[in-house]
Chains A and B, each alone.
Chain A
Amino acid sequence: MLDFPRWKITTIVVGIAIMIALSIPSFVPKSAREHWPKWVPAINLGLDLAGGSFLLFEANTDDVRQAKLTQMQDQVRAEMRKDPRIDIGDISIQGGKVSFMLRDPSKVDAAREKLLAITGTGVGTTGQRQWDIAVVNSSQFVLTPTEAGITEAIDTAMGDAREIIETRINALGTVEPTVIREGTNRIVVQVPGLQDPKALKLLVGKTAKLEFRLVDTTADQIAVQRGEAPPGSEIMPHEGGGNVAVQRQVMISGDMLVDAKQTYDQQTGAPGVTLELNGAGTKRFAKVTQENSGKPFAIIIDGVVISAPNINEPILGGSAVINGGFTVDSANQLAIALRSGKLPVKLKVVQESTVSPELGADSIRAGITASIIAVVAVIAFMILTYGRFGIYATLAVTINVLIILAVMGLISATLTLPGIAGFVLTIGTAVDANVLINERIREERRRGRSVMQAVELGYKEASRTIFEANVTHAIAGLIMVILGSGPVRGFAIVLLIGIATSVFTAVVFTRMLVTIWLRRNRPTEINI
């Protein structure tokens, strides 16, 4: 019992000192921490404490599947047109498959070669093919996307979507949004301090697919309003009401944009969005506007015609202005959305919650009050019951609390309201380890053992029990971390850290204190 080497004592004391130092930043209010370097570990407050908005978006994965099919259809068309040309017909998408006919069945092998080139080699590490190619009746090709191919497409789309969302929210100028992917097709957005997530939802919910197309001026206006389009055109709703017939062919699309800015119209002063096209886009726009001078073209966003201005003169500079009943805010939002690019999938809100900062502040205050009172009550109770050993236990619990804070800061954990509850519970259970030890010492003393023997046996026997009890407790905690979402996880993380640190402080640290005391005084009687 008394062989507690100096190096061990030094290690423990230095370790604890470091952890206490690391816990200090978490006590400094966030506003005062603003100019501190980033590496200083400090605990983040969850939305339920800081106030703010939580939004869970879900993507419609059918969109991704559909987009993949459409893309393949276009690729097949383009590839077959290339030299040596293979004539095909009846290309269509049906039942999640792309199919087409060969005009000349003898070219099956050549066509297959071409298809193998565009359907790619394989997916990721497993090397599974993205598409299954089948030939039916010796002249019809059927391309079916494999599950692996779809999964990868969804994964890529979600990754892109996450980045785009982050860019958009950052452009709104809100503080420190967290945007993380969850599961296969969900994205969680958390914005502390935000009270009204309306603008944010609109911004994220906007796909921002931009297209310029020529308006079909030959179409019969009455038929167009009925929703009937002439061949080669399609009907799109106009934002101001009514329908517009536009050509199927896309003149300029969003991927030709280099910039989008909110600006004011020079004549009317109305807010609008100015677009800058890239080189290819500028050339194309110049050509089309030269050829179609005097005719209107439609600016389409997410399948809705925003405006359809006339081409008064050829536009050679590669910039265009969208006007159409914008407010400064809505023009700014559209500019942000266009600038960040088109979302590869449509996102829908499936879960959201907003907590006002006042409620958050109330909760923190209540949580801190409750924690302080809990600590004081437990300390008083322990000292009354175990005397000197109670003081040691108290020291252990206090240090335990500081170490938990330090560890949470180091792993940048977020403290939530259930987390505070986990904290209070940890204080209670951390005491249990000391109770086990002290009761065992009492018991051994009753059995007539000497002070040294009783203390030694107390620690030895109780340590085994403490270990077993904590392992099972940790099993429950671990399951909560893995399966739990939101509040459950916040609670479980604090609990797990607490279990680990409390075994250290309650067993190792108090044993050190007791050993030092016993060595110095060699008492023959202890009051426990």
Chain B
Amino acid sequence: MRLLKIIPDNTNIGFVRVRFIAFAITALLTVAAVAMVGFHGLNMGVDFVGGVSIEEKFPSTPHLDQVRETVNGLGFGEASLQQLGGQNTVTIRLPVPHSAAPDAVDKMVETVKTALAAKFPGATFSTYSTVSGKVSGELVNKGILAVLLAIVGIAIFSWFRYEWQFGVSTAVAIIHDVLMALGFFAVTGMVFDLNIVAAVLTIIGYSINDKMVIDDRIRENMRKYRKMGMSELIDLSVNETLPRTVMTSLTIMLALASLLIFGGPVLRGFTAAMMLGIVVGTYSSIYVSSSLLITLGLKPGPREEKPSPATGAERIG
């Protein structure tokens, strides 16, 4: 049986040569992402801004305007609507009621449910959640802290394991990944909630996994080919690990695609963010973290106490 080979043997693509063009594109995209987040803002879920979110399932695709009119007419304030996954499910978001009565939220949810059921026969409620402003503030802080700590922790790890250049380049690449993910949410207007923080952290995890594999190979080659120029060496390392990079991202993409298509509406934002993260993370392994190593002045040479185990490997082809 002939086995599938997506990437031919011994590729020799000059990744590093075009790094300045790549840097320019990366910088442009990153600035665009930040600008999008700044101007457009993120469509924060109730987890982060506080409020009441009610999910209603309609028997057929409802006119959003009619739903909005019905809910706004109840006097609980301005409702924001969003169609989720299946076109028949609508998320209705309202501010937390001002009344201090313990059952104020219940009454509000009850009123909205009754009004919608009267206007759209067959509409059923599927879930609702309330988050007070105080708790949502804490969730935001915790989310940001989690992402920052993850970046710092990983950067310190690769600094101790390798050279400081690896730590810096990895941290820069991860920040790039996170910004791109945020930009994606700003552009699409998908709801940004706690689940998405988990997705962002996974993107970080995957991206770092990918960078470690390439960094590890760069280090191995630095010991092996002491005379080779840095850009040549990085090209070699990226090319050598290319089959693995492509294979792994394709497999994970396959798994995620099935989740996106069959996993139900609740996980859709989550999955979309991760798919984007895989693409961005793979790209930044080559064009941000590895290429940055040259800029940061990493040189092959005897920094290791132990010389290479002299496997005597020769590159073929």
CA distance A491 to B126 in the complex (A): 22
When distances are taken between beta carbons in the complex, the residues of chain A under 8 Å from B244 are 432, 435-436, 439
Given the interface pairs A354-B128, A421-B270, the reply to whether A374 lies near B258 with Cβ below 8 Å is yes
Most buried by B among A369, A384, A386, A472: A472
Check B198 against A354 for contact (C-beta < 8 Å). Answer: no
Q: Shortest beta-carbon distance, B208 to chain A, in Å?
A: 5
Residue in B closest to A427 when the chains form the complex, CB atoms: B255
Which residue from A48, A387, A483 sits with its C-beta under 8 Å from B145? A483
CA distance A386 to B247 in the complex (A): 11
Which residue from B124, B150, B258, B313 sits with its C-beta under 8 Å from A476? B150
Check B205 against A477 for contact (C-beta < 8 Å). Answer: yes
Interface of chain A, main secondary structure: helix
Residue in B closest to A448 when the chains form the complex, CB atoms: B316
One of A163-171, A262-270, A357-365 contacting the partner = A357-365
Check B102 against A374 for contact (C-beta < 8 Å). Answer: no
- A202 located at the interface, meaning its Cβ lies under 8 Å from any Cβ of chain B in the complex: yes
Residue in B closest to A367 when the chains form the complex, CB atoms: B263
Which residue from B3, B126, B127, B213 sits with its C-beta under 8 Å from A384? B3
Residue in A closest to B96 when the chains form the complex, CB atoms: A350
Check B204 against A378 for contact (C-beta < 8 Å). Answer: no
Check A381 against B251 for contact (C-beta < 8 Å). Answer: yes
- A96 located at the interface, meaning its Cβ lies under 8 Å from any Cβ of chain B in the complex: no
One of A19-27, A239-247, A461-469 contacting the partner = A461-469
When distances are taken between beta carbons in the complex, the residues of chain A under 8 Å from B145 are 483
CA distance A54 to B135 in the complex (A): 14
Interface of chain B, main secondary structure: helix
Check A418 against B195 for contact (C-beta < 8 Å). Answer: yes
Q: Shortest beta-carbon distance, B282 to chain A, in Å?
A: 12
One of B21-29, B152-160, B300-308 contacting the partner = B152-160
* Chain B residues within 8 Å of chain A by Cβ, number: 80
Given the interface pairs A387-B3, A476-B205, the reply to whether A351 lies near B254 with Cβ below 8 Å is no
- B5 located at the interface, meaning its Cβ lies under 8 Å from any Cβ of chain A in the complex: yes
CA distance A385 to B139 in the complex (A): 44
Chain B residues 16-52 with CB under 8 Å of chain A are: none
Which residue from A48, A418, A428 sits with its C-beta under 8 Å from B252? A428
Check B3 against A476 for contact (C-beta < 8 Å). Answer: no
CA distance A370 to B197 in the complex (A): 22
- A352 located at the interface, meaning its Cβ lies under 8 Å from any Cβ of chain B in the complex: yes
Chain A residues 464-505 with CB under 8 Å of chain B are: 464-465, 468-473, 475-477, 479-480, 483-488, 491-492, 495
- B310 located at the interface, meaning its Cβ lies under 8 Å from any Cβ of chain A in the complex: no
Q: How large is the interface on A (under 10, 10 to 19, 20 to 34, 35 or more residues)?
A: 35 or more
- A442 located at the interface, meaning its Cβ lies under 8 Å from any Cβ of chain B in the complex: yes
Check B264 against A362 for contact (C-beta < 8 Å). Answer: yes
Check B259 against A205 for contact (C-beta < 8 Å). Answer: no
Residue in A closest to B144 when the chains form the complex, CB atoms: A483
Chain A residues 443-469 with CB under 8 Å of chain B are: 443, 446-448, 457, 461, 464-465, 468-469
Check B4 against A354 for contact (C-beta < 8 Å). Answer: no
Check A425 against B274 for contact (C-beta < 8 Å). Answer: yes
- A70 located at the interface, meaning its Cβ lies under 8 Å from any Cβ of chain B in the complex: no
CA distance A153 to B286 in the complex (A): 56
Check B201 against A479 for contact (C-beta < 8 Å). Answer: yes
Q: Shortest beta-carbon distance, B222 to chain A, in Å?
A: 15
Which residue from B3, B131, B132, B208 sits with its C-beta under 8 Å from A386? B3
Check B139 against A485 for contact (C-beta < 8 Å). Answer: yes
- B88 located at the interface, meaning its Cβ lies under 8 Å from any Cβ of chain A in the complex: no
CA distance A348 to B103 in the complex (A): 10
Q: Shortest beta-carbon distance, A490 to chain B, in Å?
A: 8
Given the interface pairs A359-B126, A386-B3, A447-B313, the reply to whether A417 lies near B266 with Cβ below 8 Å is yes
Given the interface pairs A381-B254, A486-B194, A487-B198, the reply to whether A443 lies near B240 with Cβ below 8 Å is yes
Residue in B closest to A56 when the chains form the complex, CB atoms: B135
CA distance A483 to B131 in the complex (A): 18
Check B216 against A366 for contact (C-beta < 8 Å). Answer: no
CA distance A471 to B162 in the complex (A): 14
8 example contacts (A-B, Cβ-Cβ < 8 A) are as follows: A198-B106, A350-B134, A356-B127, A387-B3, A428-B251, A446-B316, A469-B208, A477-B205
A54-B129, A480-B146 known, 11 other contacts, Cβ within 8 Å: A351-B131, A352-B130, A367-B264, A370-B258, A378-B254, A420-B267, A432-B244, A469-B208, A473-B205, A487-B194, A488-B143
User: Chain A: residues with CB nearer than 8 A to chain B?
Assistant: 48, 54, 56, 198, 201-202, 205, 348-356, 358-359, 362-363, 365-367, 369-371, 373-374, 377-378, 381-382, 384-387, 417-418, 420-422, 424-425, 427-429, 431-432, 435-436, 439, 442-443, 446-448, 457, 461, 464-465, 468-473, 475-477, 479-480, 483-488, 491-492, 495, 527-528
